[in-house]
Chain A
Amino acid sequence: MRGWIAITRRELAGLFVGPLAWALLFIAVLLQGWLFVLYLKTSGGDVDLALRWTLGESWVFWALLILVPPLLTMRMISEESRTGILEFLLTAPVSDAAVVLGKFTAAVVFLGLLWSTAFLYGLAVSSLGIAPDWGALAGGWLGAVLCSALFSAIGLCASAMTSTPIVAAFGAIVLNLVFVTAPLLAGLSDQTWVRAAVARVDVIDHHKGSFLAGVLDTSYVAFFAAWTAFFVFVAVRAVEARRWR
Chain B
Amino acid sequence: MALARRSADYDWRSRLSIGARVVVAVVLALFATLLVTWIAERSELRWRHDLTAAQENTLNPATVRVLREMPRDIAVDVFFSAPEPPFHIVGREVQDRMRRLLRLAADQSGGRVAVEDHDLSDRTRLSPRTQARRQELGLAVIEPGGLVAVSSEGRRHVLRLRGDLADLDPGNADSRQGPVVPPRVAGFRGEEALLGAILKVSEGRTPIVVFTAGHGELDLDGPGERGAVLLARELKAQGFQVQSWNGARGTAFPAADIAVVLGADQRFTDAEFAELATFVDRGGRALVALGPRVVGGESSPEALLARFGAKSRDSGIVCMPMPSVSGGLQTGIPQCAYAVVGFEGMPAQNPITDPLRTADQRVMLFASRAFDRVAAPRGARVLDLLRSAPESWLEAPIDGTDRYDYAPENDTERTRYSLAMQVAFPPVRNPDATLPSSDPARAESRILAIGSADALANHLLVTNRDFVVNAFDWLASREYRVRVESTNRESRKLDLSDPVPVSRVHTVTVILLPGLCLCLGLLTLWLRRRST
Query: Chain A residues in contact with chain B, CB under 8 A?
Result: 16-17, 19, 22-23, 25-26, 29-30, 32-34, 36-37, 40-41, 43-49, 87, 90-91, 117, 120-121, 124-125, 127-128, 130-136, 138-139, 187-190, 200, 209, 213-219, 221-223, 225-227, 229-230, 233-234, 237, 240-245
Q: Which residues of A contact B510 (CB under 8 A)?
A: 30, 33-34, 37
Contact of B485 with A by CB under 8 A: no
Beta-carbon contact of A45 and B51 below 8 Å:
no
Q: Which residues of B contact A216 (CB under 8 A)?
A: 48-49, 51
Q: How far is the CA of A69 from the CA of B492 in the complex (A)?
A: 33
Q: Which residues of A contact B41 (CB under 8 A)?
A: 219
Q: How far is the CA of A152 from the CA of B54 in the complex (A)?
A: 34
A-B contact count (CB 8 A): 202
Closest to A27 in B: B514
Total interface residues on B, using CB and 8 Å? 72
Contact of B480 with A by CB under 8 A: no
Closest to B520 in A: A22
Q: Which residues of B contact A45 (CB under 8 A)?
A: 493-496
Known contacts A29-B513, A215-B48, A226-B33; A41/B496 CB under 8 A: yes
Q: Which residues of A contact B57 (CB under 8 A)?
A: 213-215
Beta-carbon contact of A237 and B506 below 8 Å:
no
B152 CB to closest chain A CB (Å) equals 16
Q: How far is the CA of A200 from the CA of B30 in the complex (A)?
A: 13
Q: How far is the CA of A16 from the CA of B496 in the complex (A)?
A: 38
Q: How far is the CA of A90 from the CA of B41 in the complex (A)?
A: 38
Q: How far is the CA of A124 from the CA of B489 in the complex (A)?
A: 21
Closest to A26 in B: B517
Known contacts A226-B33, A229-B33; A40/B103 CB under 8 A: no
Q: How far is the CA of A186 from the CA of B18 in the complex (A)?
A: 36
Secondary structure call for the A interface: helix
A188 CB to closest chain B CB (Å) equals 6
Beta-carbon contact of A200 and B14 below 8 Å:
no
Q: Which residues of A contact B34 (CB under 8 A)?
A: 200
Interface set, chain B 76-115, CB cutoff 8 A to A:
89, 93, 96, 100, 103-104, 107
Beta-carbon contact of A40 and B7 below 8 Å:
no
Q: Which residues of A contact B47 (CB under 8 A)?
A: 217-218
* CB-contact partner of A29 in B29, B494, B496, B514, under 8 A: B514
Q: How far is the CA of A17 from the CA of B39 in the complex (A)?
A: 43
Beta-carbon contact of B492 and A37 below 8 Å:
no
Q: Which residues of B contact A214 (CB under 8 A)?
A: 50-52, 56-57
Beta-carbon contact of B103 and A217 below 8 Å:
no
Given contacts A139-B52, A187-B119, A218-B45, 20 further A-B contacts (CB under 8 A): A26-B518, A29-B513, A47-B492, A91-B2, A121-B508, A128-B504, A135-B53, A188-B129, A213-B100, A214-B56, A215-B48, A219-B107, A223-B37, A226-B33, A230-B30, A234-B26, A240-B22, A241-B18, A241-B19, A243-B3
